[in-house]
Structure 1
């Protein structure tokens, strides 16, 4: 019995839009949780452009190395996430006051 393959992980024989579609899903989920800004939307658009090219590279008759595109994709993803830090930084003075109060 042949084991099924997860959707999007089957052999690439034509342009699949896998990376582009997963990027669109990420962007939708990301902006459901974060307020879009012009800079964030620019990063999101860049992610889509890079994802499109990754899919095209994978689907070409002679697939190309996507490592440079993936480096760009990951750097752009990090930059987008960096616009919305998960934790707030506090000043050194406030940190010292909080430590003193806890002691």
Structure 2
């Protein structure tokens, strides 16, 4: 059987039959086994959030059009209110 000390042969264990028992079985030669490597836990990388490709020199009209598109996506249920507000703030900061 296996224990924290490695593989142990059952035949190498002494027989215990009660109090005062001193009879020992001959010990089998001890063998050195290499400890099995511990499996490593796989950690998946966090998914990357896609960013909208908006040029930094976008005109005010194009930013307003993008906000309009975002509001339509929010109304359709494709964006949450939090996502819409976050992206809208980002776009307004570019003005």
The structure richer in helix per residue is 1
Relative contact order (C-alpha < 8 Å, sep 6+): which is higher?
Answer: 1
Task: Give TM-score scaled by structure 2 length.
Answer: 0.30
Task: Give TM-score scaled by structure 1 length.
Answer: 0.28
The structure richer in strand per residue is 2
Greater Rg over alpha carbons, structure: 2
